[in-house]
Structure formats: structure tokens, C-alpha cells
Amino acid sequence: MEVNRSFNDVSGNHSTGRATDAPMGPRKELVLTAIVENYIATGDPVASQAVARQQNREGMSAATVRNVMADLSEAGYLEQPHTSAGRVPTAQAFRYYVEQLLRRKSSPRQALPQPTQEQIEDSFTGVANAIDFFARTSHILALLSGGVGVGLGVPIASADWELLEHVHFARLGHSRVLTVLVTTAGVVRDRLLTLEHDLTPSELETAANYLNQNFHGWGLESIRKELTRRMDRERHEYDQVLCSLELWAKGAMNLAGDRNAHEKSIFVDGVANLMVNEADQRNLRDIFLALEEKQRIIDLLNAYVDSKQPSVRVVVGLGETIPEMRNLVLIAAPARRGAEHLGTVAVIGPTRMQYASAIDTVTYVADLFGRWATQP
């Protein structure tokens, strides 16, 4: 899917992210911020009198505010839905607002209220693997943001995330073997394998011993790669390596989550949160259809969140990419283990959303993943 990032991407990375618009003066920024925040709160066009009352301490009269609003309208930040109505912010205004917000952001551990931090931490209690983490991510982000929560794990999350504690092979009949794999997190999985040729109990024990002695604490995909490499290098161990590799290729890889290792694991929760009024109800079917096609969400996240991105990214105007998602916003951050990119956590919400809290929540969950992923 081709995605044009030049029109709607607001990046938290200021060294590489494009400035949304040329800087405006402090007076215009105060008025624009007041209009955006009023519109988010009420959904109604904002009149100059309302802004003047809020900005009275800045010495701005209603006439001054009207002049500033006229300048902002001419610059494309505001539009007037009706002749006698107030003004509403455009997508350009939201992008400018979010960019300024991102510039002022502090650490999520300082920005989020302590009860919210504790609620997030508690929701991930007992997580055993990355797949489980991303599944819970979608739920907690939907709950706290009032939007759609998304957790996306990259392909290696199910294959190279869980670490081997030990593996056991048991012969159940001709060419039939029970594989029991235990991870360092205490997760136990079993799989019945049908092999191309029969193996004796002694051969199965030799294969299990070889794996347990050589690969304890290794990632599961890394074991497969190393076994293949050793077959070329250690010809004197050929038989036991070949036996171990055959068993591993047959079943142990699939035991890490019972998912295709070439597929990404994506979890989406909270679509109904987008249904607020009758207009939303009419559009909800289209949104449901778009979100059910999860490959489109994967493509969307891949387009805007990459392994080099250091922080949260906000994208205003998803309708330019997926028409059904008009008036929706993406807030996303990479989930890492050290420097390794293992997934994405995100919120998809309406343009009229509480950006500050949503950005803080997404950033906190991404930060939590990094802390959880690198713990002993």
C-alpha cells in the first residue's frame, strides 16, 4: 500500500520530522490553541467572544481575536461552516497543535497521573510473552484513550522472543513424537509430531540433551539458525545435529505461540468507542470493515512507525490513506527490546480526541514494553 506521509505526518522526532508549518507569533498560537481545545471539548464552532473571554488576561479584545482568526483562516488553519457561525480548526490546525504539544512533552512517567500509571502496570501483571503483551496492549489503550487500541508484534515476536528453558521428546509410536517445550518464562507447550522416519528413544534423548545443553536461554528462531550453521561446520556431530534440526523444524518453532512465524500478530480493541453520535453510527460500518481488514492496519502502522523512530508519532488525516478512516488520527510508538524493534503500540481515535493524555498513554505503554522486555 502506498502511503503519502508528506501531508499528514506529525513526528515526535524533531531532528528528522518535517515542521508542519512555519512558526506563527505567540498571539496567533494562543488563539489557535484556544480554538482547537474548545472545539475538542464541545464539537461546536468557536466564536471570537469565547476566545476573548479566555484570553482576557492576555489583553486581547474580541475585535483583536476576530482579526487574528481572520488571519488564521486565510492561512488555512480555520474554516467557517456557516456564515453566522464561529470557526472550526482544519486538519492543518490540528497538526500544528499536536506538533507544539509534542515539543513540550515531558517523560511519560512524569506526565501521566500516578493512578493511571498503576492501572497500566497492573494490566500487564503476569505477562509471559510478547504476544500476550500486545494483546493486553490493545485492551488497555482502548480503555484509557476512548479510541481503538492496537498492538502489533513483528514476525520474530512469536519465534525469537521466548527463550528456551528445556525441551523434551517422547516417542509415541512409529514416526510419532510428542514435543514438550518449556520457556524461561515458565510457559509449557506441547505438540504431536509426525516425522518422515522413525527415531528411537535413545536418539530422541540425544537430540533433547544436545538442545538443552547447547541452547538454554536462546531465542527459538536463533536456535534453528544456529543448528543449520553447525551442520555445515561440525561434521563430526552431524547425526545428532541433524536429528535435533529435524525435530526443531517439525514442531518446536510452532510451539512458540502456535502462529505462522511469517505473519505479524495484530490485536485491535475498542472499535465501538468511535460510535458517539448518529453520524458516527452511519459511518461505523465502514470503519468496522476497514479495521477488520487487519492487513490494512498493519500496512498503515508500517508506513508511519519504523525501527529508527525514537519516539511517538501522530498522524492526522487517515482518510488520505484509508478513506473509511476520514476524521481519524493515529498515535503510535515503536515497542523495543533495547535497540531491537519488536512491534508497535497505537491508538486510532477521532480528530476531536484528548491528544495530550493519548500521547502520554501510548508513550508509557511503549516505555513499559522496553522495561519489561529487558528485565532479567
CA distance 211 to 223: 8
- The verdict on domain 164-255 having CATH code 1.20.1050 is no
Say if pTM beats, i.e. exceeds, 0.75. Answer: no
CATH architecture of 11-100: Orthogonal Bundle (1.10)
CATH fold match for the domains 105-157+262-373 and 164-255: no
In this prediction, residue 7 has a pLDDT band, given cuts at 50, 70 and 90, of very low
What is the share, in percent, of the chain residues with pLDDT greater than 90?
28
pLDDT (0 to 100) of residue 245? 63
**How much is the average pLDDT of 201-220?**
85
Check: CB of residue 314 under 8 Å from CB of residue 12: yes
Q: Would you kindly state where each structural domain of the chain is located, as residue ranges? A: 11-100, 105-157+262-373, 164-255
pLDDT (0 to 100) of residue 76? 92
CATH architecture of 105-157+262-373: 2-Layer Sandwich (3.30)
Choice among 156-170, 208-222, 255-269 with the minimum mean pLDDT: 255-269
Tens digit of each residue's pLDDT (9 = 90 or more) over 138-189 = 999 999 999 999 999 875 444 445 678 888 888 888 888 888 888 776 667 7
Tens digit of each residue's pLDDT (9 = 90 or more) over 99-153 = 988 887 766 666 789 999 999 999 999 887 788 899 899 999 999 999 999 999 8
